[in-house]
Structure 1
């Protein structure tokens, strides 16, 4: 029993977040793919798959669900875990050429999450496979580009 619409939205948002956490942890447990592009693709695909069940509900949750301090902390904790995991990979992976791997990990997580949320839940959603391919190219090129020379 839920006392009102807000309580239902909070529960659905919690379930969505928990599903994402579980999917991320499963991917982490599987180990790292050999190439950076395969790794980027696995992260992007996992996130897209987590958002395909009900894109319209996802839009409602993003726009209308109340955000308690507890829920915001849960979201922040999940983001910190993902950033730390991805930063660790970037530090060890020979294809990554960015200088600030911590910032690159934060950009990577935020870019993937925000774009996937926005484009899958849009009134005119982007096809998941096309989104995956383009996002993989964008993120992989960013990570493997030579850093700019200092003046």
Structure 2
């Protein structure tokens, strides 16, 4: 169940540029601290020190590190939009390139810091804001994919709504798993296999 615990809610929503910059410094510092020291040892004191502010100033914005991590995850999800969706070539024979753009964008959105991504997956408390952000992001990405499927001449799937949802879930879930828990398989190999699988599905290959 989503938490309505006020411990997860930021204490202060900045209204001035200076306050917003300070809040951003806290979040940036927290990302580095969690990645370097792990979540258990990533204390608010360490975060404040890294952000070069007093612990009292940090608590003006966040009540604890759970609230900071929850905000980091919300921001991570909000950044994950498919930026190439409006610039793709949808001519016949371009389906594999379209799928590769989708998979490549998902990988790029999670490539920066595998350790932090793993911490966000394992440790971030589930809040209503987080669930709302996930739902909003998923709906937007599914709508983008469905629109492309409807316009692409190489797609031979009859029911596009579940197809778009299935593709987004498959790409996002597998990408999260790969980037958060790196294995010996090169990222390029994973990308090629995922692209091939989704492309065959959309073409209706038997």
TM class, shorter-chain normalised? 0.7 to 0.9
Equivalent residue for 1:4, pick from 53, 58, 64: 64
Cα 1:98–1:66 change in 2 (3 A) is same
State which drifts further: 72-81 or 138-147.
Answer: 138-147
Q: CA deviation at 1:42?
A: 0.6
Q: CA deviation at 1:3?
A: 2.6
Q: CA deviation at 1:38?
A: 0.9
Confirm or deny that 1:32 pairs with 2:69: no
- Partner of 2:89, secondary structure, is coil
**TM-score normalised according to structure 2 size:** 0.65
The CA distance in 1 between the partners of 2:133 and 2:119, in whole Å, is: 19
Q: CA deviation at 1:128?
A: 2.0
Tell me the alpha carbon deviations over residues 109-150 of structure 1, each in whole angstroms, 9 at most, x when there is no partner: 000000000122115364222221111001001110258xxx
Cα 1:123–1:49 change in 2 (3 A) is closer
Question: Where do 5+ consecutive residues of structure 2 fail to align?
Answer: 1-57
| Bigger RCO (CA 8 Å, 6+ sep) | 1
- Partner of 2:100, secondary structure, is helix
Question: Where do 5+ consecutive residues of structure 1 fail to align?
Answer: none
Number of the residue aligned with 1:113: 172
The CA distance in 2 between the partners of 1:135 and 1:146, in whole Å, is: 15
Number of the residue aligned with 1:137: 196
Q: CA deviation at 1:75?
A: 1.0
Q: CA deviation at 1:33?
A: 2.1
Number of the residue aligned with 2:41: none
**TM-score normalised according to structure 1 size:** 0.86
Contact (CA 8 Å) 2:78, 2:133: kept in 1 or not?
no
